[in-house]
Amino acid sequence: MLDWLSDAWAVLTDVLNPHGPAMVTARSYTPTDFSIRFFLQLAVIIFTCRVVGRLGQTFLRQPQVVGEMVAGVVLGPSLLGLFLPELHNAIFPVESRTVLYVGAQLGVGLYMFMVGLTLRLDHFRSKAKSAGFVSAAGIVAPFLLAALITPVLLNIPGLFAAGISQANATLFLGACIALTAFPMLARIINERGLANSSLGTLTLTAGAFDDAASWCVLALVLAAFGAGPGVAVIAILGAALYTTFMLKFGRRLLIPLERAVQARGEMTTDILAITMLLFCLSAFLMDAIGIHAIFGGFLIGVCMPRGLLVEELKKKVEPLAVVLLLPMFFTYSGLNTQLNMVNSIPLLLIALGILAVSILAKFGACYAAARLSGEDNRTALGIGALMNSRGLMELIIINIGLQQGIIGPTLFSMLVLMAIITTVMATPVFEWVYGRRARETGQLDQLIARP
């Protein structure tokens, strides 16, 4: 009996060690090793995201999505890896993160597909002028302010790569400041009851344009760093052609799917399979040309014919995407985030300066643009508050900058702090300047606790 227990304990304690022969390096893993870790990682991620998200809702009145963002950082080297490094490395070894990355992309891509399904095109048409004006302000102002502060940052060793030109440094920093947290903005809009409102549609549309522009600028910077001009050409031209084609012909080409669902009164597995096939192809195309898979998912969602097809997709796809897959996106980004790099007063002051400039460039510029385009003061403030959220799209782009040697770890950490603070402040500021009053007057539904 004791031998059996000893053997069982040995198996349990050995479960996180590499199994089988090495595949690539001395510390490589077999498919079984990846599988074991993946399911453990997924369990830890779901549990942590639900607990932290619920705590954020209960005590800080933050939407679930902000709690999930914080949970990703909690599971990374900034907290779990700092206090329990052996446990952190056992659960999230570097070798296993490729699998987690793929799951993260699937989760955020599917969620943006669902967001595209809820976009009210009639609101977009009525607010097209305002959305375009807000989007333009949210792009131009960040690049102008980036041009002012970049020369100062270039004189501080370790922030940017040695030898980087002022133009490339300005473009990269401008893209970071111009970003709006598109996936997170979508979650906030849904959880705040804004999905069917003109303000929600205007903000989401402007955020999509700003993010697409930032990714195109990143493609230009990467091209200057050795990837070649073809990277930028393919990204910008490919995105423009595909978006134009889908917006002009996409919905008409997809009408047979809606008719098939209407004829049967429900979505069959064959229709679901076709829809998921189209989603995957759209995400692949946008990812392959150098933009991001989420824009492919969002675009195909926008073009889906409204009706029973959309209702069935929400029932069948959304719960799985939100609860199971999307949290992997937050955790993967959190695993690459270290908040202990800003470790002196001068560096903290620089980080606060970058934060102030970022808020002015997005909140201030988008508020002013909304006012000039005819929105009332409260609505313009609400738009500015939401557009100022950067979230994990920021973490994605700065991770690319770090990996490509454009920025150093210190500037990376400063931009992470900026992303977290602007995201956390988005909801309370929005509720203060717009949401609370809108609910009192019946313009918005009352908040309902989300599971």
Kindly list the structural domains of the chain, giving each domain's residue range(s) and its CATH number in brackets, ordered by start: 96-440 (1.20.1530.20)
Question: pLDDT class for 95, splitting at 50, 70, 90?
Answer: confident
pLDDT at 8 over 60: no
Question: pLDDT class for 125, splitting at 50, 70, 90?
Answer: low
Q: Is 20 left (phi over 0), alpha (psi -120 to 50) or beta?
A: left
**Mean pLDDT rounded to a whole number for the chain:** 81
pLDDT digits (tens, 9 = 90+) for 253-287: 999 999 999 999 999 999 999 999 999 999 998 88
**Can you give the pLDDT at residue 437?**
78
Which residues, including other chains, have CB under 8 Å from residue 260's CB and lie 6 or more apart? 268, 271
Mean pLDDT of 13-37: 59
Mean pLDDT of 321-348: 82
Q: pLDDT: is 38 or 341 the higher one?
A: 38
CB-CB contact of 102 with 361 (8 Å): no
Question: pLDDT class for 444, splitting at 50, 70, 90?
Answer: low
Q: pLDDT: is 6 or 347 the higher one?
A: 347
CB-CB contact of 279 with 113 (8 Å): yes
**Can you give the pLDDT at residue 18?**
57
Tokens of 243: 């978006």
Mean pLDDT of 53-67: 82
Question: pLDDT class for 112, splitting at 50, 70, 90?
Answer: confident
Helices (H), 84-197: 85-91, 97-118, 121-126, 128-154, 166-178, 182-191
pLDDT at 362 over 80: yes
Burial class for 442, CB neighbours closer than 10 Å (0-12, 13-18, 19+):
exposed
Poorest-pLDDT segment among 82-86, 168-172, 215-219, 283-287:
215-219
**Can you give the pLDDT at residue 22?**
39
**Can you give the pLDDT at residue 27?**
54
Mean pLDDT of 403-418: 86
Write down the pTM of the prediction.
Answer: 0.74
DSSP at 408? -
**Can you give the pLDDT at residue 47?**
95
pLDDT at 60 over 70: yes
**Can you give the pLDDT at residue 4?**
46
- Residue 364, SS3? helix
Nearest to 143 by CA among 163, 167, 116, 115: 167
pLDDT at 445 over 70: no
Question: What number of other Cβ atoms are within 10 A of residue 285's Cβ?
Answer: 18
**Can you give the pLDDT at residue 145?**
95
Rounded Cα–Cα distance for residues 369 and 140 (Å):
11
pLDDT at 13 over 80: no
- Residue 407, SS3? strand
Mean pLDDT of 124-143: 80
- Segment of 174-188, 329-343, 408-422 carrying the highest mean pLDDT: 408-422
- Please calculate the CA angle 398-402-407 and round it to the nearest 5 degrees: 90
- Residue 22, SS3? coil
**Can you give the pLDDT at residue 128?**
65
Question: pLDDT class for 12, splitting at 50, 70, 90?
Answer: very low
**Can you give the pLDDT at residue 332?**
83
**Can you give the pLDDT at residue 224?**
64
**Can you give the pLDDT at residue 127?**
62
For residues 17-26, one letter each, b for 16 or more C-beta atoms within 10 angstroms of the residue's C-beta and e for the rest, the string is ebeeeeeeee
Q: pLDDT: is 9 or 227 the higher one?
A: 227
**Can you give the pLDDT at residue 391?**
74
Mean pLDDT of 130-135: 82
First vs last C-alpha separation in the chain: 45
Q: pLDDT: is 166 or 182 the higher one?
A: 166
**Can you give the pLDDT at residue 196?**
67
Q: pLDDT: is 194 or 242 the higher one?
A: 242
Rounded Cα–Cα distance for residues 25 and 100 (Å):
20
Give 166-171 contacts, CB < 8 A, sequence gap 24+: 168/221, 168/224, 168/225, 168/406, 169/406, 170/143, 170/146, 171/143, 171/146, 171/217, 171/220, 171/221
Instruction: Provide, rounded to the nearest whole percent, the portion of the chain with pLDDT above 90.
Output: 27
**Can you give the pLDDT at residue 206?**
84
pLDDT at 108 over 90: no
Question: What number of other Cβ atoms are within 10 A of residue 428's Cβ?
Answer: 14
